[in-house]
Amino acid sequence: MEAAAEPGNLAGVRHIILVLSGKGGVGKSTISTELALALRHAGKKVGILDVDLCGPSIPRMLGAQGRAVHQCDRGWAPVFLDREQSISLMSVGFLLEKPDEAVVWRGPKKNALIKQFVSDVAWGELDYLVVDTPPGTSDEHMATIEALRPYQPLGALVVTTPQAVSVGDVRRELTFCRKTGLRVMGIVENMSGFTCPHCTECTSVFSRGGGEELAQLAGVPFLGADMAPPPPLCPAGSVPLDPALMRTLEEGHDFIQEFPGSPAFAALTSIAQKILDATPACLP
């Protein structure tokens, strides 16, 4: 109750989107990063909150490793990635003395830090706060949802790969969303296929069909489904494996800016557009 009466550091955040998956390694951090970059290129002010405490991937993906978090009068200042301060980030990665040090914490301590990330980071005015989560349906997820509930998140993007093994885990995540009252905005199928740069044949490296199956199970949109036809033979409505995307993530560069012709660009910008379209207009 107190939280709703005192919005504090999230007062200036218009819309909160969580990126979830029951499964690890499907591309939650990748999608969070690229969604944030795409929204920023659409003129929005975006923050990213990385609540994966054991495996914080986002600092590296944005070339921000080694940056320090400073205190300001309202709490912790997020790390700004650009001079215009249009994209900011908070991650446990910035708090580690040594980047290879393992964060070996049990639930209660993880919950405490997540609460701090939500209440003590001075995000300022943001159009979107994208919250990247670790895989699973456990302490971090419950703590995040509890802490964010008073601020009425817009919803969740749920990420899968095409494989049945992934769908098997992610359908449990959909149940988690239902039980916690979190609206699923849509399913993103990542690593859909690999288009050979020489012959343009598409190989389904990680099987086929998972995204559509999940979207049907959940009764939610399969994001990007009405995109213009992708490279020959690759399934529509999904983010393909894209070596240029992988390289920019390794090197911490802006894929959306640097590779507009690359296979994954259309899918990623389409997802961002869907989010923009689904965002209710705010009173000025």
Partner 1 sequence: MEEVPHDCPGADSAQAGRGASCQGCPNQRLCASGAGATPDTAIEEIKEKMKTVKHKILVLSGKGGVGKSTFSAHLAHGLAEDENTQIALLDIDICGPSIPKIMGLEGEQVHQSGSGWSPVYVEDNLGVMSVGFLLSSPDDAVIWRGPKKNGMIKQFLRDVDWGEVDYLIVDTPPGTSDEHLSVVRYLATAHIDGAVIITTPQEVSLQDVRKEINFCRKKESQIFPPTTGGAELMCQDLEVPLLGRVPLDPLIGKNCDKGQSFFIDAPDSPATLAYRSIIQRIQEFCNLHQSKEENLISS
Interface residue list for partner 1 (CB under 8 A): 22-26, 29, 53-55, 57, 60-61, 68-71, 76, 92, 95-97, 99-113, 116, 134-139, 141-142, 161, 163-165, 168-169, 171-176, 179, 203-207, 217, 246, 249-250
* 27, two tokens: 């591309």
For the bound state, the minimum distance from the C-beta of residue 276 to partner 1, rounded and expressed in Å, comes to 27
For the bound state, the minimum distance from the C-beta of residue 187 to partner 1, rounded and expressed in Å, comes to 15
For the bound state, the minimum distance from the C-beta of residue 164 to partner 1, rounded and expressed in Å, comes to 4
For the bound state, the minimum distance from the C-beta of residue 103 to partner 1, rounded and expressed in Å, comes to 5
DSSP string, 59-71: HHHTT-TT---EE
Confirm if 265 and 34 have CB atoms less than 8 A apart: no
For the bound state, the minimum distance from the C-beta of residue 14 to partner 1, rounded and expressed in Å, comes to 28
How far apart are the C-alpha atoms of 235 and 276, rounded to whole Å?
24
Residue nearer to partner 1 on the CB measure, 152 or 175: 175
- Nearest CA among 77, 18, 79 for reference residue 51: 18
Give Cα separations from 33 to 19, 76, 212 (angstroms).
Answer: 10, 21, 23
Element (DSSP H or E) covering residue 234: none
* 250, two tokens: 């390794």
Residue nearer to partner 1 on the CB measure, 48 or 275: 48
Residue nearer to partner 1 on the CB measure, 2 or 84: 2
Residue nearer to partner 1 on the CB measure, 4 or 217: 217
Give Cα separations from 92 to 78, 96, 127 (angstroms).
Answer: 11, 7, 23
How far apart are the C-alpha atoms of 238 and 160, rounded to whole Å?
10
Element (DSSP H or E) covering residue 199: none
Residue nearer to partner 1 on the CB measure, 77 or 275: 77
For the bound state, the minimum distance from the C-beta of residue 73 to partner 1, rounded and expressed in Å, comes to 16
Residue nearer to partner 1 on the CB measure, 29 or 195: 29
Half-sphere exposure of 12 (CA within 13 A, CB side): 11
